[in-house]
Structure 1
């Protein structure tokens, strides 16, 4: 596990000065009032849509695959809103890392905390089923304020950004654990800890099975949920941190826990899990990370979706 990171003087090397400039600019921006941040984030997102043309094509393609019945006009409108969320996601990362607790809580409402207590009453660990919403960083922060847990993450290749994201995420959580460390996750869950875990991306062919996800019959899906839940006996608790459409802030929704998920085999669990993820995504479809190549891994001999 990763505990509170120690700052190193090596991070002051000139090679990181441009990164420091970006960090400083983000820190200054999130000092602004939230209504201004919301307008700025949406503007940044619209600019990003013009610049990140490859990612825009990926988003279009993902929506085409997942919702073949959606007409072109609706798909375009959803992609525009999605990119506005991309811009807000950058702003919200700064909010998550730099805002004090009181300011985070001012803009958040929380529903379903009693579901955490119901699991803890059984003295079981909690596999917090997260989804890659663009509010991901802010959602982790507000959850930690209410119930500190352990985040699963991929270390950043940039040492400065790795230090910063770890520091930011641990402002309200206990520690971080590398997503490859399954033994560490199982050990923590058996101790009754909360493990934040996002199983909805395409992590490659290793330790994956092909099961349905929205309109795609064979979507590469991690077997990690099955291994973690079966080995640790943890309950599964899906949660959704979403931006309110009226601009009045955010809400975190802790859904009904699953005490006895289907664990017959990896395929059964993965297919069930994808249905849970689908329900979460549809609670805020414009805020989901459609820019990710969710269907890049294909069964052997099957052509690329992209």
Structure 2
């Protein structure tokens, strides 16, 4: 028999020994809930070796035999550091950026994409009614995945992501090309990590509305993307990864992440996971570029060419870098 305990507020709970039993009645119905019933927190103390030793002491004192840790890049860096200290653990990838290697998709992505898509569809209604160009900012400080995929699914006229630089002048030229072809509105999806930034592009276009042909508006979706009831696909994925994590932990296969590759569970050593950078999928990049030209964007620099893309590091879905794991 396995006794299951919950750790409140992630690594903060490890430092505070905030563990409590999770019984059947405690977890009934949580599959359809957004967020986390155990809550989450960022804590600087866990980044230090002294902090991790304190966490390890609390785990051993409470007779905790193993951990299943769910999270994104920072969480995996912390898990790897704890694993190197000898504590048994398995991780599950969860981030709306979908930027962890060795898994096709992470928990949170599908629900976030559907949330963004719903917003794009609603904003398009008002944009088309009033002949407006709308900048819609999605989350993604370092990855354009959410903006790229929601832009494709939402039929955006322009997609701006960190991996594909485009100046405000180029955005204006693309909008003008659309207007000249008779477009009644324009949807521009922007990842928050795009430079020079959503606000800079908005200010530039607002000052040149007569040149655009459209009035210009901006919407920042913000933390609405991090909430909401999980989609059916997300619930199935969470169930598959959860079962796989328990199986690996009970089998004694520690220090690994369970992911999904080609619709099959894949188990990868954490040392590989934390030393890898996942770029935007080239196939979807090419799809966005094709659709962009189909919407009348004659501007070839709206998204980089393949040769430019390779220099930007977009050489496929995953890229393993020759470097030591980053500090988290």
Please, what TM-score do these two structures have when normalized by structure 2?
0.31
Higher helix share: 1
Q: Which has the greater radius of gyration?
A: 2
Please, what TM-score do these two structures have when normalized by structure 1?
0.33
